[in-house]
Amino acid sequence: MKSFENFEYFTPTKVIFGKNAEQEIGTLIKTFGAKKVLIHYGGGSVIKSGLLDRVCASLTEAGIAYITLGGVVPNPRLSKVYEGIDLCRREQADFILAIGGGSVIDSAKAIGYGVANDGDVWDFYEKKRTASACLPIGAILTIAAAGSEMSNSSVITNENGWLKRGYSNNLSRCKFAIMNPELTYTLPDYQTQSGCVDIMMHTLERYLNQSGNMEMTDGISEALLRTVMKNAKILKTDPNNYEARAEVMWAGSLSHNGLTGCGTDGGDWASHQLEHELGGMFDVAHGAGLAAVWGSWARYVFHDRIDRFAKLAANVLMLTPTDDPTQNALAGIEAMEAHFHSVGMPTSIHDLGIDLSEEQIMTLADKCSFGRTRTIGIVRKLDTEDIANIYRMAK
């Protein structure tokens, strides 16, 4: 077991954080040399809130031409990406401004790859080849969750087979991310809480690893997890609490920009892989899907890393350790699930409103193992049978 592995930490995104941060978007985008911008957005929340109109007005005032493409859905679809690529090429757009959450930003990244490279953009998500360029992208974030505003990844769902696949490449990192916590006041509670779970998971996936001791990175991770849990509870009853929105929003970016993985082996990521198949097949909210499978995954693998699960219990769930590490680890898993429950998040797939048949479990396991060609996870390497067992436990 190695501690403090070598690492690269690359966060080129300019962050503009706080009240009214989006006000000068026209002037800002000009500094990045944009001549014609594709404004990309989702199902309508930005129209309803008036944000889209304000952004368009700011671009017009700064003398920047733009076109718009809305309609990105959660678990963003490849067909919308193709539409965006065609539109950008036709209109010669040279910058993409994503206004929304992970789905819109991920769709923008995929369009960016598609415009800047020849051939089918899906090849990158199937890991058939590597992108050599990407259109520049900026984001105005409206939900704290996926961390795409500072991450190097993009997750797209191909309707042909309902395959949800990710592609990571530093080329797509946002040039800037505008984060005004007030823009998240209009979120439905379920999306707020689902986002908080996702933020926690991006750090948990890295924290539960097979690395040795890392005081600095572990300390940052533990503080981040405690902060998100505390503020998720505040937002449950006080959704317009600026400080709580701000804490969660900043945690969302730090949780997935690589910071909480520095010096680790990269982390586990099995829960994410398990969720991606649920998201692809059943279109569930990503964070809620993670909450539904995490406890079952943890109980399946914790024996392989009892010390770290026990550390989580003591330093994040603040449980007093007993002499029995197994009991400590299990108590931590239970406390984490109790937290999910307390904020209205699921802890089983049934809680998501899905009752899986045995056939569906095997289909999910087959897809998750890429047709039995790969294992997932690092705490314990999980093959197709393990994956099916976890879906059964999470049922």
Site pattern 281..300 for Zn ion (x: CB under 5 A): --------------------
For ligand NZQ, the binding residues in 213-252 under the rule CB under 6 A are none
Q: Out of Zn ion, ligand NZQ, none, which partner does residue 22 contact, by CB within 5 to 8 A per kind?
A: none
Cβ at position 38, least distance to ligand NZQ in Å: 16
Q: Out of ligand NZQ, Zn ion, none, which partner does residue 184 contact, by CB within 5 to 8 A per kind?
A: ligand NZQ
- For position 100 contacting ligand NZQ by CB under 6 A, the verdict is yes
Rounded distance, CA 51 to CA 17, Å? 16
Task: Give the one residue of 13, 45, 257, 315 binding ligand NZQ; rule: CB under 6 A.
Answer: 45
* Three-state helix/strand/coil letters over the chain: CCCCCCCCCCCCCEEEECCCCCCCHHHHHHHCCCCEEEEEECCCHHHHCCHHHHHHHHHHHCCCEEEEECCCCCCCEHHHHHHHHHHHHHHCCCEEEEEECHHHHHHHHHHHHHHHCCCCCHHHHCCCCCCCCCCCEEEEECCCCCCCCCCCEEEEEECCCCEEEEEECHHHCCCEEEECHHHHCCCCHHHHHHHHHHHHHHHHHHHCCCCCCCHHHHHHHHHHHHHHHHHHHHHHHCCCCHHHHHHHHHHHHHHHCCHHHCCCCCCCCHHHHHHHHHHHHHCCCHHHHHHHHHHHHHHHHHHHHHHHHHHHHHHCCCCCCCCCHHHHHHHHHHHHHHHHHHCCCCCCCHHHCCCCCHHHHHHHHHHHCCCCCCCECCCCCECHHHHHHHHHHHC
- For position 138 contacting ligand NZQ by CB under 6 A, the verdict is no
For Zn ion, the binding residues in 176-215 under the rule CB under 5 A are 198
Rounded distance, CA 289 to CA 345, Å? 9
CA angle 312, 315, 316 (to 5 degrees): 70
Q: Out of ligand NZQ, Zn ion, none, which partner does residue 192 contact, by CB within 5 to 8 A per kind?
A: none
C-beta of 131 vs 329, nearer to ligand NZQ:
131
Task: Give the one residue of 258, 263, 279, 377 binding ligand NZQ; rule: CB under 6 A.
Answer: 279
For ligand NZQ, the binding residues in 245-274 under the rule CB under 6 A are 256, 272
Which residue's CB atom is positioned nearest to ligand NZQ? 42
- For position 21 contacting ligand NZQ by CB under 6 A, the verdict is no
Task: Give the one residue of 58, 117, 148, 221 binding ligand NZQ; rule: CB under 6 A.
Answer: 148
Q: Out of Zn ion, ligand NZQ, none, which partner does residue 257 contact, by CB within 5 to 8 A per kind?
A: none
- For position 268 contacting Zn ion by CB under 5 A, the verdict is no
Number of residues that bind Zn ion (CB under 5 A): 1
- For position 143 contacting ligand NZQ by CB under 6 A, the verdict is yes
Site pattern 158..187 for ligand NZQ (x: CB under 6 A): -------------------------xx-xx
Q: Out of ligand NZQ, Zn ion, none, which partner does residue 58 contact, by CB within 5 to 8 A per kind?
A: none
- For position 386 contacting Zn ion by CB under 5 A, the verdict is no
What are the residues binding Zn ion (CB under 5 A)? 198
What are the residues binding ligand NZQ (CB under 6 A)? 42-46, 74-75, 100-104, 106, 142-143, 145-148, 151, 153-155, 183-184, 186-187, 191, 195, 198, 256, 272, 279, 286
